Structure 1
Amino acid sequence: MRVVTISATYGTAGHLIGPAVAERLGVPFVDRAIPSAVAQELGCSLEEALAHDDRAEHGLGRLLSGAMRLPTVTFGGVDMYVPGVLPLAPEEFVRRTERTMKQTANQTGGVFLGRAGAVVLADYPGALHVRLDAPLKRRIAQTATLSEVSEKEARHTIEDNDRARTAYVRHFYRVDPAEPCQYQLAVDSTLIPVPVCVEVIVTAAEALD
């Protein structure tokens, strides 16, 4: 089974590259489907699983819950449990998400966008772990173009997303998502065109067979 994990900072076109790589490799693209599967397992709707709750605790909890205000379908942001919404601890929601990811990798393979995939699937044989990143200025410009928003709005969204994603990975996995040793391939997808990024990733994934 081919497995590719993609850690994409906001504004690096992960929402375009991930599905294209999955199609080329003939495996599922796994993004929003993960929390959907967890919500189904818990017997609640995805909206209930991801709904913002004003009772979210201050500090880290509020920072992490802020990730749910980001457009996760478009850019692969962090989806997670907010205290007060589901009858289980955040750690349990993350654990079930990890289990779903591992089951999917074993059963069908897949291209996994976000959710600390490089950590969760670090020991999966033959997996390719990819980091999409770029300087803030170019991510702002690309976000403004793709989302048709002002650069000021784009900067605010990127900064919120960066804080939330980094807090999520550091809190639950004690690692920095920007640490290069977690990945076999790092690509600046604000300079390299999306089709070329896709080709590079597919070629690298096939080389690991």
Structure 2
Amino acid sequence: MAVRIVTISAAFGAAGGLVGPAVAERLRLPFVDRAIPEVVASEIGCTLEEARTHDGRAESGLGRILAGAARLPVVALGGMDVIPNRDLVPPEEFKARTEDVIRRAADTGCVVLGRAGALVLADRPDALHVRLDGPRERRMVRAAAEMPPNRDASAPSGTLYRDVERMLVDNDRARTAYVKHFYGADPADPRLYHLVIDTTRLPVPAAVDLVVAAAGTI
């Protein structure tokens, strides 16, 4: 039976943002990524920025996932005002809402990136769980190549790689902390996945082909 759900866990610099949408397009499934914090924000009644701070795929602010976030005053969402609430919103609520969004999307089929999807949907026999990873140095090279070209031309040589290295360390540590804190697991553990791909060695199209082929065999 061909799967209708694909979860993709990707280390920083492992091309998750490229492989995920391409797999979704090939399988004709919705790609679930940026919409998750938007739905979580609307359901909790907080700002989108606040939800992103607690999101497992956020590029910044993940060091705050263990801290509560205060609701802000009345916020208009879809024409409805959220009742002000000064109580702290525990990180567990953001996590629970994120799981709800993922499970609802899975019921109709989807490709979901990050957010410990392989653990959230571990009991789904119709799900394929994929990990994208690679050696740290090679992930740094890939990430540096994907950086926008609008850097300061006067910056010393090597600055880009120092910046990328800092981003890689921060993101890897934050995403690992998120999964370990909420699920007691290591996102790099290959036992969580049906398929692990080194996307620093294989080009993106080849990685996409592997995932699509695997999705048709489970």
Settle same-fold status: TM greater than 0.5: yes
Shift of 1:201: 0.3
Residue 94 (structure 2) pairs with residue 84 (structure 1)? no
Q: Which runs of 5+ in 1 are unaligned?
A: 52-63, 72-76
Decide whether the 8 Å contact of 2:16 with 2:113 is kept in 1.
Answer: yes
Q: Residue in 1 aligned with 2:96?
A: 95
1:156-185 Cα deviation digits (max 9, x unpaired) = 000000110111000000011111110010
Q: In the aligned structure 1, how far is the partner of 2:55 from the partner of 2:43?
A: 21
Q: How does 1:114-133 map to 2 (within 5 A)?
A: 114-133=114-133
Q: Residue in 2 aligned with 1:37?
A: 39
1:83-123 Cα deviation digits (max 9, x unpaired) = 233442111110111011101101x2111100000000111
Of 153, 172, 177, the match for 2:163: 153
Shift of 1:70: 3.3
Give every structure 1 segment of 4 or more consecutive aligned residues whose post-TM-superposition deviation is greater than 4 Å.
64-69, 77-82
Residue 22 (structure 2) pairs with residue 20 (structure 1)? yes
Q: In the aligned structure 2, how far is the partner of 1:195 from the partner of 1:65?
A: 28
Decide whether the 8 Å contact of 1:19 with 1:29 is kept in 2.
Answer: yes
Q: Please identify which structure carries the higher helix content.
A: 1
Residue 185 (structure 2) pairs with residue 195 (structure 1)? no
Shift of 1:82: 5.0
Shift of 1:45: 3.2
Decide whether the 8 Å contact of 2:50 with 2:69 is kept in 1.
Answer: no
Q: In the aligned structure 2, how far is the partner of 1:133 from the partner of 1:16?
A: 13
Q: Please identify which structure carries the higher strand content.
A: 2
CA spacing shift, 1:66–1:127, aligned 2, 3 Å: closer
Residue 125 (structure 2) pairs with residue 140 (structure 1)? no
Decide whether the 8 Å contact of 1:25 with 1:202 is kept in 2.
Answer: yes
Decide whether the 8 Å contact of 1:14 with 1:113 is kept in 2.
Answer: yes
Q: Residue in 2 aligned with 1:54?
A: none
Residue 60 (structure 2) pairs with residue 70 (structure 1)? yes
CA spacing shift, 1:66–1:200, aligned 2, 3 Å: closer
What is the aligned-residue RMSD (CA, Å)? Answer: 2.5
Shift of 1:34: 1.1
Amino acid of the structure 2 residue aligned with 1:35? P
Q: Which runs of 5+ in 2 are unaligned?
A: 72-87, 152-159
Q: Residue in 2 aligned with 1:105?
A: 106
Decide whether the 8 Å contact of 1:2 with 1:127 is kept in 2.
Answer: yes
Q: In the aligned structure 1, how far is the partner of 2:111 from the partner of 2:124?
A: 13
Q: In the aligned structure 2, how far is the partner of 1:116 from the partner of 1:26?
A: 22
Shift of 1:49: 2.7
Q: In the aligned structure 2, how far is the partner of 1:65 from the partner of 1:104?
A: 17
CA spacing shift, 1:187–1:207, aligned 2, 3 Å: same
Residue correspondences, number: 190
CA spacing shift, 1:78–1:127, aligned 2, 3 Å: farther
- Share of identical aligned residues, percent? 51
Q: Residue in 2 aligned with 1:55?
A: none
Decide whether the 8 Å contact of 2:6 with 2:111 is kept in 1.
Answer: yes
CA spacing shift, 1:67–1:193, aligned 2, 3 Å: closer
- Please identify, of 2-11 and 142-151, the stretch whose mean Cα deviation from structure 2 is larger: 142-151
